[in-house]
A and B are shown apart, each in its own frame.
Chain A
């Protein structure tokens, strides 16, 4: 209850502002805008990458040059000038920080303002954090403890240098460089991101976490995350994002690849709170992300949980390819859009192996002038005997100027499959509000309460630390939408 009061106070306070909208005055090294092979060579050189990596990037760049930007999503935006973006921005003073004390105090302050005091979290929460500011991974905490278990958790640049064989084996196997326009762009210019490898039979004892932040102006953030759970391993991974308030739009085109081998399990949670733009829809992040997991071995499991409250435009479909027999894919999502935000998000579940199961729970909430779309694919291939899918997509509309859309694609090529899809769209029932009013809750509190209940099924899948944050975010994102 005290939590609700807290939320209420924030809600009723004067106009709520995007909390993470500050800009850190850190000296940054930013290369001139534009994209050609020389920029890619420069990025590769700055990262001290081996030649195969450079060739890989250049190949991706060539694919990208022959691709055209897709426009099928239910989102509208001004054309992006890819030559006006700077593809590399790095804080100058941070080079190879080994311990937390070595990193720029201003930078540490930035992360503290974001609510991720690195060392505090290290000690109290037992969460290992890899913080990525603009293009560069700044610090990775808790590394030694992980190392003793054989778990590799570091920035992807470091992994390319130190574990080239692992990276080379898995990079691009789930999301190939020519997969789509934004994946090709990412493959060519990705500057950092996280890498995680959990060896066979190891259960990662702590939650791993990455915090992404775009700080510099006119830059795009292209991070690449690669997580591998070897046979029988388990890992839970959290991702959070923020960006400063700016009038212009910034592009964020990340690629996340998950690989779960036999009996392995990966749980990937995202709380996405990029700057959504102001009330009139000026500025904000374009969040065009390719996320895909491969259940490669038998009995493997991949679970995506996402809470999407930020970004001017969210366009992503965390997917699972269920290749191993008996593998399981899950997708839990809450997407909130307010003001002029647009979201076109959902998932793809591709059933390849036998006895594969997938479950999709998507909760969309639209308010203001926003447009919120669920787009999902459930495909059962001809050899996927006994595949089972259940999808539930609910949309909630707050106000009469927003839109909620559902585009589920269901493709079944096997008679033993059982696929169910359910969707509803409605507003919050007046009778429910009335019931709450009667018991002394005002309408805004009642709505907050109902929304929380509505999203609970998804929020309960989040790790504890995130669940609290997500719940608050949810309420704050909808501030001012209840009339």
Chain B
């Protein structure tokens, strides 16, 4: 299913640089106790073998990682000044309990559920064995890169069945001195019958470019449910590559809503593995891009057992010179009869210089299934615009209204009223402002 990338070990200066960085951090990690040591060694070998993917790699055909990496990133300093954490905590406490990870190191948490992954893994061999077992390093250079460099993150364990406040996980990247790259890793474990909500946000400091390579592995137990909201609204010098992989047990539920309205280079790779009967995955995403923004969603839904369901809807509004990419894969394994999978991708292109590349993909090995995907690319409906203009709205107002309605379908999937109305207001503001449309 994955195509191997070419060997570029010898010729790539990038890999040489990564090797140098690796030796630096390895020493540093060793001094501070490193529970991931052997995993790290395997990961760097895999990364050397694979190389950093180029556009010749099928999964990176439309997203040139090198335009980003050529900016030159240094691996984040591991010594962190936690001066501004209280400000960050304050900014997000309206949404729930805040946990902060700064330059890849667990910094603060107001919730007992969220603890430092490094510390938890050092004393918990079961947790340690879970690291890298879902988002595997094999044939995945980005995950291998993360595994070689990440030293910490958050471990979230949800045991209680009672609903609790959302946990807001803020990743801070400090790029005040130079362009900075951070690898962080999180583990989420939802016990059977429990439910939890996770909000992921990113903030960067300073004028330099900040790149976050985030890997999150989540296990959703039987009858458990997890809601993940990914709010990508950072400034244009913030860049994100996320790998969020979930395993869903019998009758488990995953709801994931991504709102990508900010950042420079955004690549999301959410994956849901439906490994228990009755498991359900819902992935939704909204992209509003302008400037030279690039937002790329590569989703994978893997139906492994009979009677599982999935639903995906990704929408994008692209203006100016922005680029949108969507690649949705649905696998239905030979035994996964009675699967029901739905996937839709809808795009509106507003500017002659914006680009959309989309590839909805089905790979089906079972016959008693119902799988559909649909994809559209277009402009706003002329008749709808005329209708609104005939009722006294200006063209701009009419456009903004229609675009807001288009975007609102995704925002409406957010199950928390406070976050939903705030995001809707922000989307409206974005679409009504003169910069767009």
- A interface vs B, CB < 8 Å? 72, 380, 382, 395, 397-427
Contact = CB atoms under 8 A, between A and B. Distances in A.
Nearest to A430: B368
B364 A412 contact: no
Nearest to B61: A409
Given A401-B334, A412-B347, A425 B362 contact: yes
Interface in B314-368: 334, 337, 347, 349-368
Contacts of A424: 370-372
B367 A398 contact: yes
Contact of A408 (B354, B364, B375): B375
A411 B357 CA distance: 4
B58 interface: yes
Given A400-B368, A401-B334, A406-B362, A417 B374 contact: no
Interface of A: prevailing SS: strand
B375 A395 contact: no
Interface residues of B, number: 37
B369 interface: yes
B378 A403 contact: no
B379 interface: yes
A423 B62 CA distance: 22
B3 interface: yes
A211 B186 CA distance: 62
B331 to A, nearest CB: 10
Contacts of B366: 397, 400
19 contacts: A397-B367, A400-B365, A406-B360, A406-B361, A407-B359, A409-B359, A410-B377, A411-B356, A412-B356, A414-B349, A415-B379, A418-B377, A419-B375, A420-B377, A420-B378, A421-B360, A422-B372, A423-B374, A425-B372
Contacts of A417: 349, 377-379
Contacts of B360: 406, 408, 421, 423
B370 A418 contact: no
Of the candidates A401, A414, A420, A425, the one having the most CB atoms from chain B within 10 angstroms of its own CB is A425
A410 B353 CA distance: 16
B352 A426 contact: no
A422 B353 CA distance: 26
A413 to B, nearest CB: 5
Nearest to B365: A403
Contacts of B413: none
Contacts of B364: 395, 397, 403-405, 425
Contacts of A425: 362, 364, 369-372
A415 B350 contact: yes
B420 interface: no
Contacts of A421: 360, 373-376
A330 to B, nearest CB: 20
Contacts of B372: 422-425
B359 A415 contact: no
Contacts of B367: 397-400, 402, 427
Contacts of A380: 377
A420 B364 CA distance: 22
Contacts of A401: 334
Contacts of B368: 400, 427
B197 to A, nearest CB: 33
B262 to A, nearest CB: 22
B376 A419 contact: yes
A416 B351 CA distance: 9
Contacts of B378: 417-420
A361 to B, nearest CB: 15
A376 to B, nearest CB: 10
Nearest to B370: A426
Given A414-B352, A421-B360, 6 more contacts: A408-B375, A411-B357, A417-B349, A421-B375, A422-B374, A425-B371
B410 to A, nearest CB: 20
A420 B360 CA distance: 12
A40 B132 CA distance: 55
Max chain A C-beta neighbours (<10 A), residue from B353, B358, B362, B365 = B362
A380 B347 CA distance: 14
A423 B351 CA distance: 28
B356 A407 contact: no
Given A404-B364, A418-B379, A421-B360, A426 B371 contact: yes
- In the complex, the 4 A-B pairs of residues with the closest C-beta atoms, listed nearest first: A397-B367, A419-B377, A421-B375, A415-B349
